Amino acid sequence: MLKELMFALGFSVGRQTNPSVVLDLISRMRPVDCGVELIRIGAKGNDGGYLIPDDLEGIEYCFSPGVGDVAEFENQLADRGIRSFMADYSVDSPPLIRPQFTFDKKFLGSSDCGRYITLASWKDKYLKDFTGDLILQMDIENYEYQVIINTCERLLDQFRIIVIEFHSLHRLFDLFDFELISSCFDKLLEHFYVVHIHPNNASGSVAKGHISVPRTMEFTFLNKRRVASTKPQRMFPHKYDEDCVKSKPTLPLPKCWYSDTRRPEV
């Protein structure tokens, strides 16, 4: 009866994820040092800049869904000779126009329907027979989970570097949402190492016991094909990390995301 009453009032009540299960997932996502220096590409002192491995040689193309009003990441890649395919239904064009930019007025999603296009269809539209390495930079407001789950592993493995801003990570404590989020991460971890995590300080964080989860974080992945050895990455924040929103307090990466902590009692 309580659940029905809460539902009628516009709230949903569900089972919580066992904290030890959340911590196990976090432990698999902890960043590693792959022996490749990280560099900052994109805006400085604002949202739209990301740390990526300095391993761009030979990459010709970047797929960048979620354009908004900033394109400095793609602009700096263009200066390095990398062309960007950009997509966002919410705008009519990128904020910058360059010959190296190709824009589609589409949202990236899990189906080719109306305003949406899948990553596979988007890639085939321009690079159907291309087999070289690619970059994926994705900030698409919660659609990232369905996109990754919908994308075949062969296409995912074609990306050398992936940068994704993951949203609603506090939902890891919700049992239903945990299954979606963990499935997405597990799929990425088949082919990639996490090499950097940066919390977006616009959204704050939630905590349960010794587990703290920022609501929104930027993850950088490097394809395992490019890695000879790894060791734990313990230095956070990175010297090139910058707050996404200067008017809000800095949000450090919680220690449980990069170092072993005492397991909570469950």
Query: Closest by alpha carbon to 165, among 20, 39, 64, 28?
Result: 64
CA–CA separation, 24 and 211 (whole Å): 11
CA–CA separation, 221 and 231 (whole Å): 15
For residue 265, what pLDDT is reported? 38
Per-residue pLDDT tens for 24-74? 999 999 999 999 999 999 987 667 899 999 999 999 999 999 997 889 999
For residue 260, what pLDDT is reported? 83
Per-residue pLDDT tens for 5-24? 554 556 555 678 999 999 99
For residue 32, what pLDDT is reported? 98
Say if pTM beats, i.e. exceeds, 0.85. yes
For residue 69, what pLDDT is reported? 84
For residue 9, what pLDDT is reported? 57
For residue 266, what pLDDT is reported? 36
Looking at the DSSP bridge assignments, the partners of residue 104 are: 87
Query: Closest by alpha carbon to 19, among 145, 169, 167, 175?
Result: 175
User: Among the residues of the chain, which ranges form H helices?
Assistant: 2-8, 19-28, 72-79, 119-127, 144-150, 153-156, 175-189
For residue 264, what pLDDT is reported? 43
For residue 97, what pLDDT is reported? 94
Q: Which residues of the chain register pLDDT less than 50?
A: 7, 263-266
173, with CB counted inside 10 A (0-12, 13-18, 19+), is buried
For residue 62, what pLDDT is reported? 98
CA–CA separation, 58 and 133 (whole Å): 8
For residue 35, what pLDDT is reported? 96
The domains located in the chain, with CATH, are 14-257 (3.40.50)
